[in-house]
Structure formats: C-alpha cells, structure tokens
Amino acid sequence: MKTKRFSALAHVAEREAKSDYRPSLTLWQRGMWRLRHDRTTLAAMFTVALLASLSLLAPTISDALNVDPNTQDLRNNYAPLLSEGHLLGTDELGRDHLSRLLYGGRISLGIAISAAILTLGIGVAVGVYAGYYGGIIDDAIIWFITTLNSIPYLFLLILITSVLSLAPLTLVLIFAVLGWTGVTRLVRAETFSIKERDYVIAARATGASDWRIMFVHIVPNVFSLLIVGLSQGMGGLILTESALSFIGFGIRAPIPTWGNMLNGGLDYMRRAPHLLILPGLLISVTVFCFYLIGDGLRDAFDPKIAD
Amino acid sequence: MQQYIVRRILQSIPTLLGITLIVYFIMLLAPGDPVSLLAFDPTIRQDERERLAMQLGVNDPFFVQYLRWLIGDDWMMVDSNFDGELDAWGDNYGILRGDFGRSFKFRGSNPLTLISERLGATIELNIAVLLVGLTSGIVIGVLAAVMRGKAFDRFTRIFAVIGDSVPSFWLGLMAIVFFGLMLPRVLEGYAIGDGRPLLPMGGRCPPVRGGCPPVYMRLQYLILPTLVSAFGVVAVWSRFMRASMLETINSDYIRTARAKGLAKRDIWFRHGLRNAILPFTVFLGPTFLGLIGGSVIIERIFTWPGVGLLLFDALLSRDHPVIMASVVIGSVLTVVGYLVSDILYAIFDPRVRF
C-alpha cells in the first residue's frame, strides 16, 4: 500500500519535470510579480524613497550648501526662491528654507513611519486577542473602541497635546495610543472568521498553544491587510501631524516640521507666499504617494483578483 | 423597529459615560493644580493651602472627583467657609444637569451658553459643506461608475486620491493666497476691480453690531470655507459612490431591467441609484464626525466664529471648563450622528433584521 502511493507520487513528479508545468505561485509571489509591473505604484515608491533619503541626508546636504536650519539672518529674511546662497529662499527670521524643509521632513516622516508601525503592533496584538478569545474581554475592548471613536479625533488630540509637553517621541506614543482602533477592528473581524477554519482546528488538535495559533497561524493570514493599512496609516499620520503642528499643538518651534512651517503662515503670506506653498506641496505629494502605494499593494495582494 | 431604536439609544449610554471618563482623566493630567491657580499668592500659608485643597476636593480619590463633576454636589454637605467642617449644601449641579462650571476667560459665563451661541455658526457651515460635498460626490461617483474606464472615470479616481492627500488647512491657505492676493492683482492689471479681494477672506459676516444677518444676505462669506471643506468630502463620497454603484450595476435585477429594454437613464437613476445609495446612510455618521473634528482647523483659518474656534481659543487660554464642555458636546453630537445614521439605515434598508 505504502509503496504504491509513493510510486504514484513519483509518477506525478516525473510528469511535472517533463512538461513545462509551473508550480502555482503563492499569494506572496504573485503579489510581488504584480507589483513589479505596476508603474504607478513603483513611481510612488520611488518618490517616497527619494524624499526619505533626502530627509535622512539633511545634515550632509545642508553642510554641502553651507546653510543651517537654525541660523537666523534678520537682514536677509523673506528672500525669494533661487536667491544667492539660499536655493529656496529664507523665512521670516532669515533661516534657510531648503534645509528647514529637509530637517522638517525628518521629523514629519520619522513620526509618521514610527507611529504607523507602533499603531500596527498594538492594533494587531489587541485585535487578535479580542477576536480569538471573544467573551467579556472582547466586549470591553469593543466598548472602549466605540467610546474612543466617538470623541472627534482632532478634539481629543489637541486636548492631549495641550496638556502634555511634546517631544517628537511623545507624539509618536500619543498617535499609537489613539490610532490602534482601526487596525484592531480589521484584525478582530478577520480573526473571527479565520479561527473557525480547518487548519486552525487541526493545529489545535495537534496540541498547539493559543499563542502559537494566534501568531503562527492567524497573524500571517491577515498580513496582506496589514501592509496596506501600514502604508495608508503613514499617509494619514503625516496629515494629522501636520494639521496638529499647523494649529500650534504639535511639534513646536524651533524644531521644524512641515506642519509647523505653515503655522502662522497667515501672517506673512503677503510677503512670501512660497513659504506657504512648498511645505504644503511636500505634505500633499508624500501623502499622495503613500495612498497610491496602499492602493497598489491592495490590488497586488488581493486574492480575489485574478490575473 | 421601535425596539431596535430603543436598544440602539440604550447602547449609546455607556459610550457617553466612557467619553466623560476619558475627558475627565485627560484634564486631570493638566499641569498646574487648581489650588495654585486660584490662590495665586506667594504669601499663602501652608495650612490655608491645605484648607483650600480640602474645600476644592482635589485630594479626593479620582472617582469621587469624577462623580462630583458628573452629577454635582448639591446633594451632599460641603465646607463652604474654609473651617474644615461640613456646613452647607453644595451648589454644583454637575454636567449631567448642564453645569460645566464657569469659564475662566469670559468672566464666569456658563460654557454651555458660550457653546450654544457658537453652535449655529458651526452647524451652518457644516450643512453647507454636506450639501455641496454630498451632491457633487454622489453625482460624480455615479457618472464615474456609468462611464467606467473612460477618461472621466480615470480622472475622478486620481482626483479622489488627491482629495484625500491634500490637507484641508493647506488648501484653505492656498485659496486665500489665490483669491485674496494673486487673482485681484491679475484682475487689477486688466483694470477689473481695485486690487482688493473679490470674496471675503474670513469671518461670518461684516463686523456690525447686533449679530449676523440671515444666511442668504451673506452667502459670499460661506463660499471659500465651504468649498475648501467640501473638497475632501467629495473625494471620499465619489469613490464610495462609484464602488457601490458598480456593485449594483452588475447585479441581476439591473440586467433584468436592461433586458426589459428600459431607458438607460431610468435604469441608472431609478433602479440603480436607489440601491447604491443605501450604504451611504452608514457613512453619514463618520462624515459628520470628521466635519466636527475638522471644524477647529477650518474655523481657525477662516476665522469662522464657531465651536471649533471657541475650543481653539479656550485651549490657548487654558480655559478648562470651556475646553471640557466643547469636547463633551462635540462627542455627544458625534454619538447622536452615529445613532441617526444607524436608524436611517435600518429604516431605508428593509433587509436589515433586528
């Protein structure tokens, strides 16, 4: 009996080797293949990578151009674009606009990326836990999420940020503590359906612990949801951070971020509108690219879309 | 149905309680204790401080303080004359009975009065935004679905992502720069106008005494804030509308209607749109919530005298009673918005079972 089965398998293997049979692609492989052929998403990824590396290289670039984001020069304020020594002009205190934009990008992108990752971590942990165990813990978590989501998000944010003194790291923590609910809802709903599937039941039958089932069998299956959420979360967080800094309750001067560079812009827009245009343009382009990447990833890793 | 509505209303009670808990907890974290704020006096003696602290109840456990804030203290004896003995009934009615304390900044006026004076402006702006945003969003979405794959469809899809990515405050600033500075200058070059903005750049009405005239007398003040705010709403709703309409168009009964030979317009707007629009009653709640939250920013840019601007000013001057009242009222409005949108959904969709 046993030998017969093995020979049957050998036969199949032999036939596969002879023909031009290709093993079917895994979801992951197919997704990567689609991504490589999606020019819009690739362009968006390239733009984000470019902006991120420019921001990372902010000190080097500033040194090379012989400018500094915090040196004031009151005799040379409101310099227009392409003026001598300052490619993108200077702001109301005569500080170099280009290097402030680059340093601002470090803070804005840094906050958005780290907060999105932290949000995802909390969201997945709570969501899988609530979805897997259900019961009274789940009810409590859902009540908390509903409550948190019923307070207008920006009201809650400025309430907290007006109470706490803010370093960029604190802001990351605040974003994560307030932002995990969306991910949790997604992951919880998926976990509910996945935990009834055969392979989870099989894993339990072989004696796998709850932790192993949750993080080895369930989490990988919500992974494609998560990378989409990550990309869109980063875009959303850049918007939130800049809105917060714009009205003066986020990161405060002298640390530049794209948001607080627009703060008070209403006062000097008559003299130097470019100081308003550029930071906002950078915010919009970055968020646009993050959203495009999110859309591209969703299309690439959606198992329901056939080739 | 009535049972469902009652249950849904009961469900929002724990949510409202949770909101007050969270808001109170955050405000307790605020720097500066009330004793030093009230007794701003370097010569105050330690025993006087302690007496004041006892009278204000700041040393009580969190939940006792919270309950006093929530339901008031007029049912218990308090120490009214600083002598350490309980001798009078409290005079604080608690927020459940509408007593949020007194504003620090506006000479002791009731925060609720301040808010209700401003609420009209916020609601006026948001109704305008919803009208403009929803109508154009739905029309654009339906047209995009009907013209799937054509240039219009591709354009609206890109437009929707752009509408999501452009921050509304920056769009507002750009609108002011363009309509307030650049356009008048250009027009002046062609001898049109006198270089002054064509539209008012902020405010709700001309600065006159005795409040603002009725809305239709000052529509020009609404134009910029409404368009800027509606931009994001149009983006979101056109995308959802497109998806929902596509799903409906591909369903069997639409195919039947087509097979019957009905006119295309009848199919799309009488058969299709009616069903495609159903899920949108659900999105009304979140949209409303987003608008209330975003009011801080839009009202700040266009100096629109609504609740958002009130909250902004209160935060700057650390006017705690007004801050707490605005956040609680904003949240109550949100909860009510969700409630109404859920009930509307249940009414409009007969498939929903209770």
Cβ of B165 within 8 Å of Cβ of A239? The answer is yes
Confirm if A272 and A78 have CB atoms less than 8 A apart. Answer: yes
Q: Is the pLDDT of residue A71 over 90?
A: no
- Identify the pLDDT of residue A129: 92
Cβ of A246 within 8 Å of Cβ of B293? The answer is no
- Identify the pLDDT of residue B171: 92
Q: Is the pLDDT of residue A17 over 70?
A: no
Give me the residue from B27, B166, B177 closest to A276, CB to CB. B177
Residues 6+ apart with CB under 8 A from B161: A288, A291, A292, A295, B235
Among B289, B296, B300, B335, the residue to mutate for chain A (most A Cβ within 10 A): B296
Cβ of A151 within 8 Å of Cβ of B22? The answer is yes
- Identify the pLDDT of residue A5: 52
Instruction: Count contacts between A and B (CB, < 8 Å).
Output: 137
Cβ of B181 within 8 Å of Cβ of A242? The answer is no
A127 falls in which pLDDT band (50, 70, 90)?
Answer: very high
- Identify the pLDDT of residue A205: 92
Cβ of A151 within 8 Å of Cβ of B330? The answer is yes
Q: Is A136's Cβ below 8 Å from some Cβ in B?
A: no
Asked if the peptide bond before residue A254 counts as cis, ω within 30 degrees of 0, the response is yes
What span, in angstroms and rounded, lies between the C-alpha atoms of B139 and B273?
Answer: 10
What span, in angstroms and rounded, lies between the C-alpha atoms of A12 and A7?
Answer: 9
Of A207-216, A242-251, B71-80, B310-319, which range is least confident?
A: B71-80
pLDDT tens-digit readout, A75-99: 777 777 777 777 777 877 778 888 8
**DSSP state, residue B95:** G
Average confidence score pLDDT of chain A = 84
- Identify the pLDDT of residue A234: 93
B198, two tokens: 């064509």
Q: How far is A250 from chain B (nearest CA, A)?
A: 13
Q: How far is B154 from chain A (nearest CA, A)?
A: 13
A270, two tokens: 């008559």
What's the fold here for domain A38-58+82-301?
A: MetI-like fold (1.10.3720)
Q: The complex's ipTM?
A: 0.82
- Identify the pLDDT of residue A151: 86
Cβ of A273 within 8 Å of Cβ of B331? The answer is no
Cβ of A150 within 8 Å of Cβ of B19? The answer is yes
Q: Is the pLDDT of residue A197 over 80?
A: yes
DSSP-based three-state secondary structure for B75: coil
List beta partners, residue B77. B89
Cβ of A295 within 8 Å of Cβ of B177? The answer is no
User: Which residues of chain B are under the pLDDT cut of 50?
Assistant: none
Closest CA relative to residue B176, chosen from B303, B294, B308: B303
Q: Is A239's Cβ below 8 Å from some Cβ in B?
A: yes
- Identify the pLDDT of residue B209: 67
What span, in angstroms and rounded, lies between the C-alpha atoms of A295 and A41?
Answer: 8
Residue A150, Cβ density class (10 Å: 0-12 exposed, 13-18 middle, ≥19 buried): buried
Q: Is the pLDDT of residue A1 over 50?
A: no
Cβ of A152 within 8 Å of Cβ of B26? The answer is no
Q: Is the pLDDT of residue A3 over 60?
A: no
Cβ of A247 within 8 Å of Cβ of B327? The answer is no
Among B165, B182, B329, B342, the residue to mutate for chain A (most A Cβ within 10 A): B165
Q: Is the pLDDT of residue A109 over 80?
A: yes
What span, in angstroms and rounded, lies between the C-alpha atoms of B33 and B42?
Answer: 15
- Identify the pLDDT of residue A2: 46
- Identify the pLDDT of residue B132: 93
Q: How far is A67 from chain B (nearest CA, A)?
A: 27
What is the percentage of chain B residues whose pLDDT exceeds 70? 86
Q: Return the residue of A nearest to B19 by Cα.
A: A147
Residues of A in contact with B23 (CB under 8 A): 151, 159
